[in-house]
């Protein structure tokens, strides 16, 4: 069994919980997820099975999209609704949409972000949340992220001194959306936290295309495996080249280089045998040839 399952993760479960469940359901250990979702976050969690586990790093590195909610007027230890209150500063009146749009605009493009203390980032061999639970504050490494799009979705609500703002964000790998919520508030001079978050797109899959664990179990009972998307389907947007007999038998089967002309050298290249992806190559400017980046020889 090889392919990617566009799973719909539910609130309250960890990403690892689903890997464990699917190993039992599918009777295979060769399973991996493509980017952790916190227990309080639901939505798209692509799961790689069999040969597709080789794609984990590739799919994890793709941009992701979320829809969520920022609450202005309070901050928490975890930067989401699970944490204890750190600061409270209620609003006297709501911000106008035009004022909020100005902040959204300022927070697009290249940004520097410091991971939250309650996160799995490692510092000196320990995860940050381990330090946080012990009450120890440590210096956290900065990281560069990219925000492709960040905008308001619906009319904000205001009640009891809190303003809630629905948003959509498309961001690069490694972005902590709850930290974006905190930074959004800081730019308005207010404490803030992320009060809700759903991942709506990851690895090319939209939430409308996902399956719950329950649906997968029902489909398996009916011998229906359509929840499993083939490697070729997942990589359909990557440029491809159908191999000749010589290229396949003499070159690719042995991890050899390829001399191919007239292709976009800035992008990766899928090399196919009878229409099936057998490897992903990248162009090496020094050698002037295409070299193997990822081998998928057993893909069928």
CA-CA distance, 300 to 298, in Å (whole number)? 6
Determine what percent of the chain falls in helix, strand and coil, rounding each to the nearest 5.
25, 35, 40
| Under 8 Å between Cβ of 267 and 293 | no
Catalytic one of 2, 38, 149, 154:
38
> In the beta sheet, which residues pair with residue 6?
46
**Residue 103: alpha-carbon gap to chain centroid:** 24
DSSP 209-277: G-B-HHHHHHHHHTT--TTSB-HHHHTTTS-EEEPPHHIIIIIGGGT--B---SS-TTS-EEEEETTEE
CA-CA distance, 231 to 250, in Å (whole number)? 24
Q: Is 38 a catalytic residue?
A: yes
The catalytic residue positions are 38
């Amino acid at each position: 069994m090889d392919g990617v399952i566009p799973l719909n993760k539910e609130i309250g479960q960890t990403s690892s919980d689903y890997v464990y469940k699917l190993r039992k359901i599918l009777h295979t250990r060769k399973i991996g997820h493509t980017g952790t979702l916190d227990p309080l976050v639901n939505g798209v969690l692509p799961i790689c099975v069999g040969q597709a586990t080789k794609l984990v790093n590739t799919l994890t590195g793709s941009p992701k999209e979320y829809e969520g909610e920022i609450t202005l007027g309070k901050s928490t230890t975890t930067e989401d609704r699970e944490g204890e209150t750190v600061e409270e500063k209620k609003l006297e009146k709501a911000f106008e949409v035009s004022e909020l749009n100005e902040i959204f605009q300022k927070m697009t493009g290249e940004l520097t972000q410091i991971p939250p203390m309650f996160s799995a980032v490692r510092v000196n061999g320990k995860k940050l949340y381990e330090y946080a639970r012990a009450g120890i504050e440590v210096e956290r490494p900065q990281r560069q992220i990219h925000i492709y799009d960040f905008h308001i979705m619906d009319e904000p609500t205001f009640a009891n001194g809190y303003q809630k703002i629905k948003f959509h964000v498309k961001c690069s790998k490694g972005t902590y959306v709850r930290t974006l919520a905190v930074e959004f508030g800081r730019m308005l001079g207010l404490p803030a936290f992320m009060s809700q978050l759903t991942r709506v797109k990851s690895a090319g899959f939209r939430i409308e295309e996902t399956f719950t664990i329950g649906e997968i179990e029902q489909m398996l009972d009916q011998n229906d495996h359509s929840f499993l998307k083939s490697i070729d389907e997942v990589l359909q947007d990557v440029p491809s080249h159908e191999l000749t007999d010589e290229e396949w038998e003499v070159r690719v089967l042995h991890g050899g280089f390829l001399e191919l002309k007239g292709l976009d050298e800035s992008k990766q290249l899928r090399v196919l045998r009878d229409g099936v992806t057998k490897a992903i190559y990248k162009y090496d400017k020094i050698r002037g040839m295409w070299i193997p980046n990822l081998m998928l020889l057993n893909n069928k």
